[in-house]
Each structure stands twice: as C-alpha cells, then as structure tokens.
Structure 1
Amino acid sequence: MKSSNYSKLSLGAQAVAAALVFSSPALYAADTKNETCDKDILAKCKPAQTDESIERIRVHGVQNSVYMFNNSADKRRMAALVDTPQVITVLTQDQIQESGNTDLKDILSAQAGVTLGTGENGNAFGDRYIIRGHEARSDVFVDGLRDPGMTTRESFATERVEITKGPSSTFAGRGSSGGAINSVTKKASVAYDFGRVDLGIGTDDHTRLTVDYNLPISDKVAVRLNGLAAEEDKPGREGITSERQGVQLSGVYEATDALSFTADGYYLDAKDVPDLGSYFDRDTRKPLEDIPVYAQDGDFLNSKVTTFTLRTEYELNDSITLYNATRVGHTENGYITTGMGGTTRADTDPTAPGASTLTLSTHQGNQDVDYVSTQFNLFWNTQALGFNHKLVFGLEYTDENVDNGIYSITNNNDGNCLTNGRGGVSESYCIIDGDGNTVDNIGQLINRSYVDGGSDAIYDIETVSAYMMDTVELTDQLALFFGFRQDSFDYSNNTTGRDGEVDYAYSDTMYNGNIGLVYDLSEDANIYANYSTATNINGGESDLGANCGYGGICGTQEQAAEADAEIVENLELGTKWMLFDDKMMFSASIFQITKSDVMESVGDSYSTLGTLNTGKNRVKGIEFGMVGNITDKLSIQFSAAKMDSEILESYNPANIGLVLSNFADESAYLQLRYELTESFVFGGSYTYQSEMYGGQPDTAAGYDSDNSRYSIVVPNYQVVDLFASYNATEDLTFRVNVGNILNEEYWTAAYRSGSFMYLGDARNAKLSMTYEF
C-alpha cells in the first residue's frame, strides 16, 4: 500500500533524520563528571522535591509505599499536578501492586469515570476503555508516544499510569475525546543499585514471577532488567486461562552533565483462553447467572508486542533543553473465541422441539501492526513582555500500518441440535440437553480447525504534527496555560467486504488547542478554568475496516473524503488543595464535554452505510479526587464521579434524549492503606459502578420504544478487595491479596445485542513474597 506514495516515506525519513541531527551536536559537548549519590550512603542524601528523587530514596517496600507524585511524567506538562488546570489521575507502582491488579484493563476499569466496552461482534483485540463516555481504546500512550494496536497490556515494567480526563489533543493528537492514558515505564538509572524479585502463588492456579534489577556499570552507564512469567485461571472460571511472559531491558548513558541517552527494548507474549461470559436474558431483564465454562478446546487470544525506543535529552543551557523520543514497534494479535446465546430449538429438533436452549457461536480475527514514531521537543524557560514563560515547541511524526485479517475455520463436529435463526432452521451446538442439563464434554462440541484466511482491511495513517505550549506566570497568584496543535495526515483503508474490495483514501489537517487559568487562593489551594478541544477522524479505529457503526470508515469513497471530522469541546472548572503538610492532594471539578458532527451508522453497523456529521452528544458531570497521606500511617487513593450523558442531535429523532451506551452515571474507587506497625500494613479497596446500557460506541444506548426502557442492562456492582503486608526482615516482605471478598457475581460490559456480557472475577486470594537485594 505504501509503494505508491514515495513522498510519504521521504517525509517520514526526513522526520526521523531531523530528530537525530538535532541531538547530534551534543555529542561534542564537554565531558563532565556526573554527581550521584553513592548507594552505600543513599539514606543520607538530601531528598529533592522531585518525583525522581523520591523514587531513588524509597525502595518500594512495605514501609515506604508512595501513592502520590507531584509531577506528571509527560515532560511537556511544565507545572506540578496541583497547579495543572485539568484532572490527571496518577496510579503509582506501589498503589497498583497493593491493589493486586496486573493487567492495565483491570487497573483502569476500577477508576471513576472509566468503563469497559466489548468489541464489535466479539472482537477480542486487546482492551477497550471508555473515559467520560468516549472511546479511548486508541488513546493509549507509553512514555508519551502513542501505542497503536489493540494489544494486551501488562504492568510488570510500569512505574506508574496517568489518566488524563477530558479532551487533550494538544498533547495527544487525534482522538482523546474523553481523555488519554499514559503508561510510564521503568528506566535504568546510574543513581541507585538494587534488585527485587516478586514471587506469587494463589487460588485458581495463580503463579507470578517478576524481576526488577538496576545495575550501575559506571557513574555514566546503567542497565535495568525487568522480567515476567505468570499464569492463572480466571477466578471462578476454571479453564479460562491467561499466560504472560515478558522482558524489558533498559539502558542509560549519561555522556555529560548535559547529555543523556536512554534506550529500551520491550517484549510481551500474552496467551489467553478468552471468555465472553454470560448473555442478557430479555425476558427476565437480567444477565444469565451461574453459567458453565463453555470455551472450546483450541480457543485462544494471543498477543505479541515488540518495541524499541531511544530517548535523547540535552540541556543547551539553564533555560533550553532538547528532547527526542523515537520508537519502532510491531504487534501481532489473533483470536478465535466462543460466544453463547439463548434461542429456541426448532420444531423439527429430534430431542426437544420448541425448547429453550443455549447455543455456541464463533468469533475470530487477527491483526498485525507496524509503526514508527518520533517526537522532538524544545523546552525553553524565558522572560518575555515582562512575564515568565515555560515554552514547549514540538514536532512529531508517526506512521501506523495495520493489517487486519481473518481465519478460515472448519467445524469438524456435527451440530447436536436444530435451532431457528435468520436463515431458517440450521444445525447448532447446544450446551444444554432437552432436560435442561449441561451436556457432557462441553469443551469439545465444535472441534474447530483453522488456517489463515487473508486480509480484510489494510489500514495506514501517516501524521506530521507541530505544536506549541506555554505556561505563563501572569502574577504571583495567576498562571495562564495555553497551547495549540496542527496534525496533517494521509489516510488509507483498503477494505474487503460485502461490496468487494474498496480503497478509501483521503488527507486532511486538524487543529486543536487548550487554554486554562489557575488562580492561587493561598499557598495550598487554587481554583482553575480550562477549555480544550479534540478531533476524531472518519474511520479512525484501526481494527474495524468498513464497520461504520463501531468506528470504522463511514460512507462511500467520495463521502469519506468529504466528511468533516468529529469535534469535541470541553469546559472545566475546578479546585485543587494540598492538605496535611502537602502530603495529600484534594481535587474537585465540574465539566461538560460536547461532541458534534458525529458519524452515525444507518445500516447494520457492519457496513459503511452512515450519515456523516449528523450526531451530537453531551456529557456533563462532577468529579472528586484525593491522593496521598492523611497521616504518616494512613494513605489514600480516591476518585468519584457523577455524570450525565445525552444525545442532543441524531438523524433518528427517537435517539434524541437517550443516554450514551456503555456509560455509568456514577462510579467511585477508594483504596486505603494503614501502617499499623513498622512491619505490618493492611488496607483494601472499594469499587462501585452504577448500571449502564449496551449499544454501539459513541451513540445512543439501545432502546426498546415499545416498552419504554433500555434494551440491554449491565447491573450496578460493588467490589471489595483486601490486602496486608508484613516485613519479615529488612529485605523480605510478604503480601496477601483477597479479591472480591464478598464474592459478588458482576458484569463489566455488554455487547449491543446482549449476546455476551463480560464477567468480573470471583473471589480469589494471592500470596506474594518480595525479596530485595
């Protein structure tokens, strides 16, 4: 697909070359000795007021857990988090580990304002997040660079996770309607020498081994190794398994006091037997409970991720710093999974004609992603027009190529029942017999075999971006934040579907920005106002080809090129307070996100039929947060959101006034940690999510107008987890985690038709041992 576009490749090569050329003069800078704290006297080093120094001094043990960071890991955010006019939730390594969660999906879904969605027709590619009612599956970043592809994401090499709430396209580029997620990786440092091994065992055949070892080779060079080997069954669903193997190797070379290079290679191999859970019974208006495990032998969800990243940082002087990050990545994803739904046996069924039954279905797909990204930033602290400025000038180039494919599947066993369907009577695979009992050998009913079936959509988007941001001290009490960004892109999507092979291609330029004011009420409190925008392009979701109803391309070739982008605007007012001697931050905000020119599907969601730019929706709400230490012994991480969504405009008048799909009006997360003694710590977490309704992304939830009610309901739920840690020696710590201690059966997401609903984890327990050296 790229061979016909020489100019695109040339532009990309120039962008990468420019990033390297900009940093090359620094190679000739004078070599000066880097001053670091000797590891033997580390405890005597005076702690600076930076997150890095906190990390260096605290060796994340039971006595020194860190729940709060003062600054964002995104270098472009020049102010402390308390002085930033936007909600940014930071989940630290310690808080994540004590919660007992390891996959990014589980870490994020517990947070207020974040929900999960299901993929199109059982699409199992990676994780799907929804922030403040808007899709964010393509708005995941690693160390500030977009992480394309729907992959499984793990936390073994993660230092912290930052969730930005509200549109943030000045920083993120396209998308980010409701916010964005930035996973910050562990990096090598010459400042400390440590090793850590974590070994865990538990119920549901849980085993997990991680290694974290940082080794300074000299006062200029260090390496850091992170490794992972883990496997387990899904709690309460024996046979639904996950297996993880991963490694990250990071290295740093501090050539001079002014110049440093950091490089890392990351690899993750995730192999799951997936579970589509239950289904929604429209008669009882509830999900079916206590369902058997029906996954078929040979079901799989596999994901492989390989990335290489190089970062260069050079301080020209006390005022100007140059920074470049360049990444090359490749991911491979594939799945064949089994769904289950309710139906009726045909009158001609030989066993139980007319009886209600449960049948199995097949869902499948594969995806290969290749991408390159380079981001160059110039940071400049200066004075102009009588004001202090913290300026950021940036250039970014990305090229993402996604090859979406299918498998050719053969069902080698005959069906065991006859059922009614759209095409009439057909053979099916029923998991209950005529007497209502579960059939024997449920996992071998279908006996599938498969081969690669070729590509059905080849997606490519190449983007060149330029942006500028400024933080201005207007007075001692008033600060101004503003920025703007231009993204110019070339888009192509070669799809194969019902209408044969169609090549969609167009180019466009997007403009976004933000402006905010922060006014200090005192040394410890402020109020702020913020306005920001985001832009979504037609066909922006890379895994959906021509499925208009799910974020794929909408319209004919001519319509796709002429359609306007979806525009998102956000208004936010808030306040932030530093309490308890600056050990805890409290925040509160009210916001309104309005999305206009929304693409709407008028077909069956699997075609390109759509009305372009006819939809409009709004989300408004209030959010509270607390993070840090209430006392020296009591730590907290808390967030709660109360939101309201509404469809304001639609080609279908019946949609107006309905709520957004997969949207929870109320959600809350609370994690507390109490240090009872110097050696013993205990705590727990509480997660609440109100009910939500299934439907297509970014549009009205499915509605039954005949009965004046929403069609598919995900019930509200609450989950309580507990943990306790004990320092047996200075180097050895034990931790116990009990998840879902109340053993509540709950569901986290629903497909628009209700044909599958994801199940939450049942009660489980894990024992972890941490050895530090």
Structure 2
Amino acid sequence: MSQSSAAARAATPAFLALACVGFIASAPAAHATDPDPVPADNADNGDEQDRQEITVTGSRTEQAGPKATATLVNTPRSVVVLPAQVIEESGSASLADALRTVPGITFGAAEGGNPIGDRPFIRGFDGQGSTFVDGVRDSAAQTREVFATDQVQIVRGSDSTLGGRGSAGGSINIISKLPVQGDFVRLTGSLGTADYKRATLDANTGLGSTIGVRLAAMWHDQEVAGRDAIWARRWGVAPSITIGLGTGTRLTASYYYLESHELPDSGIPYLYTIGNAPGTGEIWTEPALGTVTTAGGVTGTVKRTNFYGLVSRDFRDATTHQATMRVEHDFGGVTIRNTSRFTHNDQEYSFLLPDDSTGNVYGTAAANPTTGAAGARGDQLTGGLVWRRANTRYGYTEGLTNQTDLYGTFDTGSVKHSFAVGAELSWEKARRGALVTRGFTNSSGVEILSTGSTVTPRCNSATIARFYCTSLFNPNPNDNWVNYASDTSTVRSPIVHMLPIEETQNQANTVSLYGFDSISLTPSLILNLGMRYDRFTSKVTPGQAANATQSFSLGRSDNLFNWQAGLVFKPTRNTTLYASYATAATPPNSLLGEGQEPNSLGTTNTPAALALLDSLKVEQTRSYEVGAKANLFDGQLALTFAAFQTDTDNARATGPNNTVEFIGKRRIRGLELSFNGNVTQWWSVFGGYTWLDPVIVDGGYTALAVAANGPAAATTVQVPSVNNGRQATQTAKHSFTLWTDFRPTSRLSFGGGAFYTSRIFGGYADNRSASQTSAGVITVVPATKVLLRTIPGYWRFDLRAGYKLTDTVEISVNVQNVTDKAYFTQAYTSHYAAIAPGRSAFATVAVKF
C-alpha cells in the first residue's frame, strides 16, 4: 500500500474496526523508506543517534493486505508478527530458522508420503498447506528462504474464512520486500564455522518521483555444524518494480527465483520397535544417541555427527519460480486491487530414511543364527545396524491465482464500517514420480532402487557388503554404494525417472467469494463479522504400471462455507479485551500430494473405492478464543494474551467394521502470551510462552490380524486405536522463546535468544494380538507394552554482538546453540528423528549507503 493511501485510510475513525483478522503487517516505522537509514546529521550527536536507533516492532502497524484493516491491538485473534529486525539479528537464513523464535510452532518430518519441505505445526495442526506469500497460497512443498522477506505473519486459530481451505490451526503469511520510497543499498557478507558463507543484497531506488525498483539477492554455501558430510548451497534473486509509487494508482510487478542443492539429513534412528522393546508397560523410545547396548550385548557410542546416508546416492535439488502482478487504485476512501500470480516449483531427491522396521538397530536376538538358511545368509539379528532405506521423489507443482479485492470504509449514521469484499480464482497442478531401476519391480509391481528392501531381515552378510546396511556406531557416508538391477543381481543399472504413465498427477480449481465487515458500534466496541465460500474441485490421476496402456482419474467437488465473529471491547485507546469464534474446513485432497494427505481421493477405481470416494467428508474445525492486548510505553511494546480451544470433527479413521468412517476427533486447549517491541529506548524484546493440551479424542480403530484355526478362516478384528486419549503428535505442551537486543551506546549492541520446547511425541504402538478357536470365537489379548516414540525437551541459547564502525559499516558476530546442545527438532512417527546442528559461529559485515 502506498503512503498516501495508508494515510488517507488512517484518518478515518472507522479504521479502528477490523475487516478480517490475520495477515497484519507490523513493519518497523523506518521501513517506510530505508530499512536501516543513515542519519542525515553527524553521527557523533549521541542523543540524535539514539533516537534514530529506536526500532518499533510491536506498533505503528501498516496494513499488508485488503483483508486486514486494523492495528494488532484491535484484532480479536492471536496474531504474531515476526519483523525483519528479529529475522536478521537471530541469523536466520530460512523460514524454519526464523519461526524458531515464535512460541507454539513445531516442525514435522517428511513422512507418510509427505515430501521434503517446511512442515510447521501451529497450535497442534499441520500448517504445511497453509503458507501464503503476500496473501496468496503457496502450496508447493519446499524449504523457504528469507533473503526477500520483510516480515512473517502468523495467524493462530482456525482461519479458513481468510485464506480458504485448511488452516485448522492457523496460517503463515510471508511479506515480500517490494519497492518503497527512497534510495538505499544494503550489502551483507558472512563467514563462519562449518565453512559457512553467505552474501545478501537489498537495493531500492527511485526512477523519477513515482517509480520504485528493488532488488533482493542471496548466495549461500555451508556445511552443517556437528553433522558429518551434510552441506547446503543455494542462490536466489527477487527483482520488483512499482509504477505509481505514492500515487492513487499503482502497478507492481515482481519475480522470485530460488535454486537449492543439498545433501539432505534425516537424523538418528529410534532404538526400539514394538517387537523388540524390552520390558512391559509404557515404554518410551528415543533416538539412539549416546551410549547404546544392543540385544547382543555390544555397547557402543552413537555420536551426534553420525550420518547414515550415502554421499554417492543421496541428494536434493529444487527450484522456485514466482511471478506476480498487482494493480491498485484508490477511489477516495475505497481501494480496488487485483493480484495475479504464477508459480512453478520443482524438486528431486534421494532422501535417506534410517529404517528400524525389522528391529535391526537394537536387535531381535542375543545371538546370530549359525545354521539353516538364516545362518547361510549371515542374518544379523543382534542389533547395532541401520538399514539405509532410500525415499526418492521428483516432480513439480504449478499454480495460477487471481484475486480481486474491494475495500474501504463507510458510515451508516453513527455506526462506522470497515469492509472488504473479494473473489479468488485459482488453478493448481502437482505431478510426481519416483527414481527407479528400469526393468526391475518388487512384489507389488513397483520399480525401485536396489537398497535391500526385498530382503528380510534387512541386514545380512550380502546387504552389509553392498552397504545397504551400515554400523549404528560407525557409519561411513562415503561407502561405495552401487545401484544394481535388483537386490540380488550383479548387473549395474542406471537410476531413471518413471515413465509418464507411472507418475501421479493432482489438479484442483478453486472459486471463492468472501466478505468482511467490522462495525464500530461505539468508539470502544467493535463487532467483527466475516464469511467465505469456496468451491474446491480436485482430481487425481494415479500412476499405473509401466506396461499399462491407459490411466483413469478420480475427482470430486466440495462446497466450503466458513465464518468468523469477534467482539472487541476497548477499555482504553491502547488496550483491548476480545472474544472470537472461527471455523476452518479441510476438504479431501486438500494438499494435492504436496503434504501428508490423511483424506485422499484414493488410487483405485473398484466399486468399493468409488463408493468411498462419494462418501468422503470435509474435516471441520472450530476455534473459540478470548484474550487481551495492550500497547505500552506510547505504543513501543505490544503485549498479548489468549486462551483458546480448537475442536476437530470428521477426521478420517477406520471404523469398528473395518471401513473408513469420519469419526476422528481432536481437541487442543491452550494459553498464549507474547511480547514484541521496546521495553526501554535501548532494550527490545520479542517472543512469548505457549501452553498446549493437545489430545487425540478419537483416533478410530485398528485392525488386528486373526490367523486361521481349522475351519475358521483368517480374519481381522477391530480394536480402539492406541492413539485414543494421547497427546497429539508433533506438538509440544510447553514452548518459550525470547529474542532480546540491548543498545547501551549508539554504536554497540548485544543480545541473544533463549528457546525452550518440551517433549514431543512422534507416534504410538502397542502389541495387542488376537486369536480364534476352531469355532470362530475371537479373543483379543491385551497389550503388555505400549511404545511411545518421542524426542526429549530442550533449551537452546544463542548470542549476538554488533558494533557500528561508521554510519555505513556494521560488524556483528552470532553464536548459535552456545552450549552445543544435542537436541532433536522433528519426531518421525517411526524410524528416526531429525537432529539439530551443533554449536556454530559466524561474523557478518553489513554495508549500507
């Protein structure tokens, strides 16, 4: 939004009203021109310099989009705005790095068909498909950078009214660096441990009085501290131009490109499976880190540096293209805006999954077999081994979106309205396949790489010799792995893409209409109403066997209606009490294969599958929230508190008759406290605390196999899911973050961060079994042990110091994970957990002119 437009709207009293909660910018005041302005006068004037240094991170809001027409203090929602200052000072180079400073956000692993990419959990719900860039959905699985990011906005609570499908726990909106008035250039260069190298550019200039041009660029190259072999390289560029800057009519064109190459890291395997976990009762299994004694009695040390992948096999390459065109025009107090965007994302990878599925990590026996077929194969059953399972994927996603918004203010007598109405049309396509060995198929008819997946148990003399299995204690990433035509063949075979008919394609079309009205009933009482209608039509074309001659498609359409209501009471101008209600709807095939899809359309066209397709339901979520907000110290410090409950119904689960039913339920209750801004002129803070009580109320049923007994045929029996009543996975009960910066003089600054996340659970399993008599009478044997895969809680501490050598040159040093804490960031449902980097340090030189 231009300065003239923002000023015109701010002058209207009804501007205090909220048209739609969410996507609210809280940019530092200096960002209206230069993100780090050079004082016009002599910098030796200490008082003047100190005034220049005050950075407002919690107030002086600007509206980032047409659906948000209120300051944060008047928003009846829990909204966190992560400013550029915190992103930069914390040394964040990716979206995941930046979001670690926000309490209540955890990250899930790539599993269950979920591709590698950012997978944030907000209030206990998977938010991978609820990430937006400048208000437009960005659904492709990817690892996002921050070089072109001005700030990140996190809306917490159900908000499909705002963004459309999904968003059960909230959404993330990335605000891009776009042209502003004024001229500046900012260059940074960083060098550090683990061969860390990074350079960025942010340049803005005016071509005449109404044309602005901005260029953001980045180059990044590093290894990973505390991890063997892992590395990442990427570069990106983001040019943009605005014609009509500062006028009533504006045209902005922008392009974003990111290219990434890396050796992906999966982490450390869990120690136990339900089959080999020793003892009875509730057993917690954590990653096999530190001193480990196997079932065979061998004791060794699993170092945090251990990488179980293969340099000769594993890789990840990805690119992102994003082109946006936006036109805006002001009609007095009303603005019309149209945004069009085309995106293309592609990635290809071979990703190690350190697999423990046959118990090879801890072991299943005290001694290895020496006779029979097992002895001849040299089966290894005593543990201390890791199967190097390869998960592979290649593919792309494309999207074309057009949004039209009309927003402004009007009065009806003494009642003030701030309104927004709009429409959205979008088209999305995702196509994917796997890397295969042409000509070889497994027992399911699927072509795969030679990794030992057809061998049971996974580890024997032959698979160890071929490096399919490696030592738990001393893995060698440089083992000379070779791909053969099969697990037993000695003929080398190339790795290729699947045939087009084997690839899976998802497509979707969305038509949306939405409207919001915030009604200032009195200067101290604001009523917020919003609603949105979406017609979401999706289609999947499943991959077929390589020798198939034709394919088929499955599709359906869902009509989604969501609404929200909020009441804001203002005891004073800078304080707010509020209550709100909001809904979210997640239709089948919502993620289009770009995330873990718990409610897919299926991949077969049998009568039973088609009947299930017709019966699929939309998952419904409701959020109730009350809270309080205050802007203190003349708006310099923003404090917020929220208490909430989120309920989910219609989650897909197995019913008591072994059929798919929509009986799954979850409940998340919680409290949130956040702070953002300046405590004093020289002390700024950002962070907060979140407490969550995430419960799987109903996880459905689990099928137990029942073996045949004489005339009684083999069958299955349904038992309640082991998940029932347990803590929701991928979610921490407690999380705390603090980033702080002190500026005792006009040139010196120092600070750091403290981050705490409590225990997270990845998945649950038990050993219930069932048998039957020859008459068919079934008996369920209760569980003697329940396995909980989990990662422990942790504290992490960072430090930073900076010094301005001159008005244009600043040096800084960041030390991350100061205590070199070995902790885990992602808990897989089974198999492994992702481990965080060790201690690292880097120095940065920033030059601005």
TM-score when normalising by structure 1 = 0.86
Query: Identical aligned pairs, as a percentage?
Result: 25
Hey, what's the Cα distance between the residues in 2 that align with 1:719 and 1:658? 27
Against the structure 1 CA distance between its residues 552 and 576, is the aligned structure 2 distance closer, same or farther, given a 3 Å change threshold?
Answer: farther
Write the letter of the residue equivalent to 1:663.
T
Counterpart check, 1:355 vs 2:331: no
Alignment of 1:129-528 (within 5 A): 129-189=120-180, 191-254=181-244, 257-282=247-272, 283=277, 285-289=285-289, 290=303, 292-296=306-310, 297-317=312-332, 319-342=333-356, 343=360, 344=363, 347-348=374-375, 353-356=380-383, 357-384=385-412, 386-409=414-437, 420-421=456-457, 427-428=463-464, 438=474, 442-446=478-482, 449-454=494-499, 455-496=502-543, 503-528=553-578
2:700 is matched by which residue type in structure 1? Y
* 1:630-649 → structure 2 map (5 Å cutoff): 630-649=679-698
Q: Structure 1: how far apart are the matches of 2:379 and 2:552?
A: 46
Pick which of 282-291 and 559-568 moved more: 282-291
Q: 1:154 to 1:212 in 2, by over 3 A?
A: same
Counterpart contact for 1:702–1:752, Cα < 8 Å: no
2:805 to 728, 735, 743: 728
Q: Does residue 666 of the first structure (1) align with residue 734 of the second (2)? A: yes
Shift of 1:687: 1.1
CA–CA distance in structure 2, aligned partners of residues 569 and 181 of structure 1: 18
- Of 794, 818, 837, 1:717 maps to 794
Contact 1:66 1:95 in 2 (8 A): no
Contact 2:322 2:344 in 1 (8 A): yes
Cα distance, 1:59 vs. partner?
Answer: 3.4
Task: Provide the rounded CA distance (Å) in 2 between the counterparts of 1:743 and 1:406.
Answer: 37
Cα distance in 2 between the residues matched to 1:550 and 1:758: 26
**Letter paired with 2:189:** L
Question: Which stretch has the larger CA shift, 573-582 or 279-288?
Answer: 279-288
CA contact 2:166–2:585 (8 Å) conserved in 1? yes
Q: Secondary structure at the match of 1:107?
A: helix
1:167 aligned counterpart, secondary structure: coil
Distance in 2 of aligned mates of 1:418 and 1:565: 38
Deviates more, 1:159-168 or 1:60-69: 60-69
Deviation at 1:111, TM superposition (A): 2.1
With over 3 angstroms needed to count, the CA separation of the structure-2 counterparts of 1:502 and 1:193, relative to structure 1, is same
Bigger shift: residues 62-71 or 249-258: 62-71
Equivalent of residue 590 in structure 2, options 537, 540, 548: 540
- Pairwise CA RMSD of aligned residues? 3.2
Structure 1 distance, partners of 2:765, 2:31, is 48
**Judging changes above 3 Å, is the alpha-carbon distance between structure 1 residues 747 and 730 closer, same or farther for their aligned structure 2 residues?**
same
Per-residue deviation at 1:255? 7.4
Q: Structure 2 counterpart of 1:474, which letter?
A: L
- Structure 2 Cα separation of the partners of residues 213 and 747 of structure 1: 37
Partner of 2:780: none
Q: CA deviation at 1:83?
A: 0.6
Q: How far 1:647 sits from its partner (Å)?
A: 2.2
1:320-347 Cα distance to aligned partner (Å, 9 max, x none):
1101111011111111122223405764
The verdict on how the C-alpha distance between 1:332 and 1:600 changes in structure 2, with shifts beyond 3 A counting, is: same
Equivalent position of 1:595 in the other structure: 648
C-alpha spacing 1:249/1:756, structure 2 compared with 1 (3 Å) = same
Q: Which residue of 2 aligns with 1:764?
A: 840
Select between 109-118 and 239-248 the one with higher mean Cα deviation.
109-118
CA distance in 1, matches of 2:27, 2:472: 59
Within the alignment, does 1:91 sit opposite 2:118 as a pair?
A: no
Structure 2: which amino acid aligns with 1:593? T
- Distance of aligned partners of 1:418 and 1:472 in 2 relative to their CA distance in 1, 3 Å threshold: closer
Q: Partner amino acid for 2:329?
A: Y
Q: Could you tell me how far 1:60 is from its partner in structure 2? A: 2.7
Aligned partner of 1:670: which letter? L
Distance 1:161 1:772 in 2: 23
> Deviations for 1:557-601, whole angstroms, at most 9, x for unmatched residues?
332233220110000000001112210011101000000011125
- The whole-number CA distance in structure 2 between the counterparts of 1:446 and 1:85 is 58
Q: How far 1:427 sits from its partner (Å)?
A: 3.1
Offset, 1:513: 0.7
**Equivalences for residues 539-578 of structure 1 within 5 A:** 539-543=589-593, 549=598, 553=602, 556-578=609-631
- Find the aligned partners of 1:599 and 1:425 in 2 and give their Cα distance: 43
CA distance in 2: counterparts of 1:366 and 1:583, whole angstroms: 48
Change (3 A) 1:174 1:550: closer
Distance 1:488 1:91 in 2: 32
2: distance between equivalents of 1:205 and 1:631?
37
Tell me which moved more, 276-285 or 440-449. 440-449
Cα distance in 2 for residues equivalent to 1:407 and 1:434: 22
- The answer on 1:684 being equivalent to 2:766 is no
Residue 351 of structure 1 contacts residue 434 of structure 1 at CA under 8 Å; is this kept in 2? no
Summarize the Cα distance change of 1:431–1:340 in structure 2 as closer, same or farther, 3 Å threshold: farther
Against the structure 1 CA distance between its residues 268 and 436, is the aligned structure 2 distance closer, same or farther, given a 3 Å change threshold? closer
Greater displacement, 265-274 / 433-442: 433-442
Q: Could you state the TM-score of these two structures normalised by the residue count of structure 2?
A: 0.79
Q: CA deviation at 1:188?
A: 1.1
Give the secondary-structure state (helix, strand or coil) at the position aligned to 2:97: helix
SS of residue paired to 1:528: strand
Amino acid at match of 1:485: R
Deviation at 1:503, TM superposition (A): 2.2
Which amino acid counterpart does residue 471 of structure 1 have in structure 2? Answer: S
Q: Distance in 2 between matches of 1:551 and 1:130?
A: 20
With 727-736 and 60-69 compared, the bigger mean Cα shift is at 60-69
- 1:742 alignment counterpart: 819
Q: CA deviation at 1:759?
A: 0.8
Q: CA deviation at 1:249?
A: 0.5
Which deviates further from its counterpart, 94-103 or 648-657? 648-657
In 2: Cα distance, 1:623 partner to 1:36 partner? 31
Cα deviation, residue 714, structure 1? 1.4
From the CA coordinates, give the structure whose radius of gyration is larger.
2
Q: Is the 8 A contact 2:459 2:469 kept in 1?
A: no
Matched AA of 2:249: L
Cα distance in 1 for residues equivalent to 2:552 and 2:693: 39
For 1:73, the equivalent position in structure 2 comes to 64
Cα 1:536–1:409 shift into 2, 3 Å: same
Cα distance between partner residues in 2 of 1:517 and 1:53: 28
Matched residues in 2 for 1:637 and 1:181: separation? 18
CA contact (8 A) 1:393 1:468 kept: yes
Larger displacement relative to structure 2 (101-110 or 473-482): 101-110
For residues 427 and 602 of structure 1, do their structure 2 counterparts lie closer, same or farther at Cα, with a shift above 3 Å needed? farther
Number of residues of Structure 1 aligned to a counterpart in Structure 2: 717
